[in-house]
Structure 1
Amino acid sequence: MSSLNVAVAGVGALGRHHARILAGLDGVNLVAVADRDQAAAGKIASDYGCRAVADVREALDEVDAVSVATPTFTHADVAGACLQAGKHVLVEKPLSSDVREAEQIALQAKNAGVVLAVGHVERFNPAFEEVVARCPRPRYARFERVSPFAFRSVDVGAVHDLMIHDLELARHLFGEEEVVSVQALGTPILTEMEDAATARLTFESGGVADLTVNRVNPTAARTVQAFGEDGVVTADLTTRQVLHYSATAALTHGPPVLSALDDPAADRAALRDSVFGRWIKTEEAPVSSRDALTAELSDWMSCCRSGGTPRVDGDAAVAALELAEWVLEEIAASAKRAAAPVRKAA
């Protein structure tokens, strides 16, 4: 296996984990970490036996690939410099806060003939992979992503901070179908941008996805629920518990459920308690304990060696951003309608 020399740009909340994982991967040499905070960079460099620099450009001559985990507004500049130097790049999500800028990054990677991966890490979450396997092309899906306010990623609102994950997941779950309509609402809470938002996507086939995010919530939760021909699959993306609810033979081949009420002595409470088991079976799916970020970085490194396409490439990231932009447009339109004076009947 050929060895790859890599650097990490930005060693904050996410970048420090990129450095830790890359330093431990077989066939990968972590050469440098870059951060304007030299104390933070020095600490990570000391931990993993590499050098610290203020700007990743100082190390580009020494590496084959760069993981970019700097703030979103710097992605075009930092990733652009790496791509211009002919380096493979992974950029943390979102690829940019601006669709046109993201398109330019993706195009630059194609023109340079290098691998561009984007850090939509939930695509590597084994619980989500199980949902896709059990309920491909659902009729309806519901995503919820809420968390306490983290006092980071404040350069973007909740749509680019949180919902971007689920926009990308929904697009994948529905088979990359075209979205034909978007409805959305959002509101600021602690910042000047939307801190909570909800959106409904309608896909070309008629499938619908509802997405809810809130980054000022008392508790944290990340869940997906998909309704398809083979029942309902629910997944907790944090605990990785995946439950599959489907019809039993008694429901599909037996008498109608409500015929159980034909008996005058029917015990309604007992019937209610027997629904799950008698008519609906529940299966808890086995889910891998594999670390999603390690899987994502390993996939990127593998693609850098082979020239393959990452699970989430530049085109997929741009498509998610286009949906995010559409959601934000609908949020703004909804707010404008709400602020409009109400006309009273004559």
Structure 2
Amino acid sequence: MSDVSLKQVRIGVAGAGVFGRNHANKIKANPRATLVGIFDLSAERAEALASEMQTQAFTELSAILAEVDALVVATPAIAHGGVARAAIDAGKHCLVEKPLAATSADADILCQHAAERGLVLQAGHQERYIFQAMGLFEVEERPSLLHATRVGLPSVRGADVSVTLDLMVHDIDLARLLFRAEPVAITATRLAGQPDNPDAVEAVLTFEGGGEARFLASRAAEERDRRMTINYAGGEVAIDFIAKSFSDGPGFGLHADFATRIPDPMGAATADFIAAILGERQVAISAVDGAAAVRIAEAIDTSTRKDL
């Protein structure tokens, strides 16, 4: 469904946490959007963020859905599937923070219901914009090996789902795009945390057509580290996400000024979401891709439990 008649897209935010605040700021900053309100089950949290954003607080999901054209889902990850499904079934477009849902079954349902209703369903894998700004997606050659490390300090945020769904899902999504294929083999080891909710995981994915991705994700580390190396026939691309620097070993002509080319990935995602609602472009980050990342993350978590 293309809402080309809309001039101002009325958007609500579900979730009054850190990501809810970030998304609300981006909506307020976009001249083609109106921030209708903040929904949270906690009236105190909803009212605090709504007051800060000079908008309305909602504690009933049905109430905010009655007032909006679209909803950004930034609740705890465990609730993504239920909140987004309610919004889609109410005929509202959705941008859902990663992961798209906490289970692949719920993610598939979201894709199906959005497609049936002709609604925009965008996954919140904003790190794609960074790779796009680097020029990595324009490289035609497939890599042979990818190493991704994404570790951080202990945090309760995101702990309602595994570290695989919370953090590693970013690198899963990026690896799928670079290898242009699905994994045909997955092995994984839980390094910390509970079997049903690990806090540190190592995983190895072998991709169809060749190539391997090795991931380390942790939310139980003593310091932050976010790096990726991508090996090609002509050399290695090495990225330090914290320092916002990289080396272009193969000489692909990648953009060293990527951080200035895309200073605000979340703002870009918000603009693309609005443009898709208005029928000006296809969805920037498809829900099908978001669901694929959830499916692989789920398989990784299943693999960590095989030896129990």
What is the TM-score when the length of structure 2 is the normalising length?
A: 0.90
Corresponding position: 1:178 with 2:149: no
Q: Helix, strand or coil for the counterpart of 1:219? A: coil
Q: Distance in 1 between matches of 2:93 and 2:134?
A: 26
Q: Partner of 1:292 in structure 2? A: 265
Q: Is the 8 A contact 2:11 2:34 kept in 1?
A: yes
Q: Helix, strand or coil for the counterpart of 1:31? A: strand
Corresponding position: 1:324 with 2:297: yes
**Aligned counterparts, 1:5-24, within 5 A:** 5-24=10-29
Corresponding position: 1:75 with 2:80: yes
Decide which moves more: 110-119 or 131-140: 131-140
Task: Pick from 192, 209, 233 the counterpart of residue 237 of structure 2.
Answer: 233
Q: 1:15, CA displacement in angstroms?
A: 0.7
Task: Pick from 124, 131, 137 the counterpart of residue 119 of structure 1.
Answer: 124
Q: 1:128, CA displacement in angstroms?
A: 7.0
Corresponding position: 1:245 with 2:255: no
Corresponding position: 1:202 with 2:206: yes
Q: Helix, strand or coil for the counterpart of 2:205? A: strand
Taking CA–CA contacts closer than 8 Å with sequence separation of 6 or more, which of the two structures ends up with the larger relative contact order?
A: 2
Q: Distance in 2 between matches of 1:142 and 1:67?
A: 31
Q: Is the 8 A contact 1:145 1:163 kept in 2?
A: yes
Task: Pick from 99, 103, 117 the counterpart of residue 98 of structure 1.
Answer: 103
Q: Distance in 2 between matches of 1:126 and 1:18?
A: 21
Q: Partner of 2:220 in structure 1? A: 216
Q: 1:126, CA displacement in angstroms?
A: 4.9
C-alpha root-mean-square deviation of aligned residues, in Å? 2.3
**Aligned counterparts, 1:154-165, within 5 A:** 154-165=159-170
CA 1:222/1:54 → structure 2, altered by over 3 Å: closer, same or farther? Answer: same
* Residue identity opposite 2:284 in structure 1: R
Q: 1:49, CA displacement in angstroms?
A: 2.3
What is the TM-score when the length of structure 1 is the normalising length?
A: 0.81
Q: Helix, strand or coil for the counterpart of 2:278? A: helix
Q: Is the 8 A contact 2:232 2:250 kept in 1?
A: no
Task: Pick from 28, 31, 35 the counterpart of residue 30 of structure 1.
Answer: 35
Q: Helix, strand or coil for the counterpart of 2:249? A: strand
User: Which structure's CA Rg is the greater one?
Assistant: 1
Q: Helix, strand or coil for the counterpart of 1:288? A: helix
Q: Distance in 1 between matches of 2:186 and 2:195?
A: 24
Q: Partner of 2:144 in structure 1? A: 139
Q: Helix, strand or coil for the counterpart of 2:160? A: coil
Q: Is the 8 A contact 2:38 2:55 kept in 1?
A: yes
Q: Is the 8 A contact 1:8 1:18 kept in 2?
A: yes
Post-superposition Cα deviations, 1:22-81, rounded to whole Å, max 9, x if no partner, equal 011111110111112222222222222211111232122221110011122222221111
Q: Helix, strand or coil for the counterpart of 2:49? A: helix
Q: Is the 8 A contact 1:126 1:240 kept in 2?
A: no
Return structure 1 stretches of 4+ with deviation > 6 angstroms: none
Q: Helix, strand or coil for the counterpart of 1:317? A: helix
Q: How many residues align?
A: 301
Q: Helix, strand or coil for the counterpart of 2:305? A: helix
CA 1:246/1:102 → structure 2, altered by over 3 Å: closer, same or farther? Answer: closer
Q: Which has the higher helix share?
A: 1
**Aligned counterparts, 1:268-283, within 5 A:** none
Q: Distance in 1 between matches of 2:98 and 2:221?
A: 22
Q: Partner of 1:311 in structure 2? A: 284
Paired-residue identity, %: 30
* Residue identity opposite 1:33 in structure 2: I
Q: Helix, strand or coil for the counterpart of 1:311? A: coil
Q: Helix, strand or coil for the counterpart of 1:81? A: helix
Q: Please, which runs of 5 or more residues in structure 1 have no aligned partner?
A: 248-281, 337-346
Q: Distance in 2 between matches of 1:43 and 1:191?
A: 36
Q: Helix, strand or coil for the counterpart of 1:155? A: coil
